[in-house]
Amino acid sequence: MAGQIESRVSTIAYTLHGNRYLNITSRCTLRCAFCPKFKGSWEVRQYELRLHDEPSVADIVAAAGDPSRYSEIVFCGLGEPTRRLDVLLEVAGWLRKEGASVRVNTDGLANLIHDRDVTPEFAGLVDTVSVSMNAHDESTYNRHCRPRHPQAFFAMLEFCQLVQGHVPEVVMTAIDGLPGVDITACRDIADEIGVTFRRRLLDVVG
Ligand code: SF4
């Protein structure tokens, strides 16, 4: 059975909550202190998410399966999917042609790492962009997310403002339970930007 095989080898695609999740890279822009991989575990539920080789577009399409079986197809693993923006967009294009609803879970730092505004490239390919805000201010964000780029927090906020002009839905999330994170203040930031806020729970994927 595919699920049993996936649990023993690098998992490119996995199923949770009726959604299909695509794990396209293990590389991150952040080094979040709360991330399981920095605690020595690459496992999410029964799935081993460490990728020893990055999958090709063909690999990802083959692993995705039949998109019509799932509520959403979500780019989300233990790596930042926009690090592989070209691959992400090519797979998203295929998914949309298959009638899938496509979500990208991201750190919101794509413009920073690609050094340009990439948000127009999501238009017509991605239905929902879910951005991990993670904290209500820069110092709390830096403490938990440990970015290499000094402007990361503000770049993330700007990304949220820009991307809402190109996709139907933008969601900002923060994890309730991280020390010092003010969830009400996070919600206020999302409201100010004009996007949806979602409170997440520590160690719950989705
Ligand atoms: S962005 Fe996600 S995968 Fe990357 S270090 Fe942070 S929690 Fe882990």
* All domains in the chain, ordered by first residue: 2-201 (3.20.20.70)
3-state helix, strand, coil in the chain (%, to 5): 40, 20, 45
pLDDT of the residue at 10: 81
Give the Cα separation of 124 and 63 in Å (integer): 23
Query: Residue 73: exposed, middle, or buried by beta-carbon count in 10 A (0-12, 13-18, 19+)?
Result: buried
Cα–chain-centroid distance for residue 159? Answer: 14
Please report the DSSP string for 6-20 in residue order: HHHS--SEEEETTEE
In this structure, the number of other CB atoms found within 10 A of the CB of residue 111 comes to 18
How much distance in Å is there from the Cα of 34 to the middle of ligand 1? 8
List Cα–Cα distances, 146 to 133, 149, 191, in angstroms: 13, 9, 25
Helix (H, G, I), strand (E, B) or coil at 119: helix
pLDDT of the residue at 102: 98
**Which mutation among 37, 144, 146, 202 tests ligand 1's pocket best, with the greatest number of atoms within 8 A of CB?**
37
Helix (H, G, I), strand (E, B) or coil at 146: coil
Q: What is the pTM of this model?
A: 0.93
Report which ligand 1 atom has the smallest distance to the Cα of 79: 3
Which residues contact ligand 1 via a Cβ below 6 A?
28, 30-32, 35, 37, 78-80, 107
Tokens linked to 128: 């929902």
List Cα–Cα distances, 202 to 33, 44, 150, 173, 190, in angstroms: 12, 12, 25, 12, 19
pLDDT of the residue at 7: 44
pLDDT of the residue at 201: 84
Low-confidence ranges of the chain (pLDDT < 50): 1-7
How much distance in Å is there from the Cα of 30 to the middle of ligand 1? 6
Place of tokens 């496509």: 102
Tokens linked to 4: 């049993």
Are 132 and 178 contacting, i.e. CB atoms less than 8 angstroms apart? no
**Helix (H) or strand (E) run with residue 58 in it:** helix 57-64
End-to-end CA distance of the chain: 23
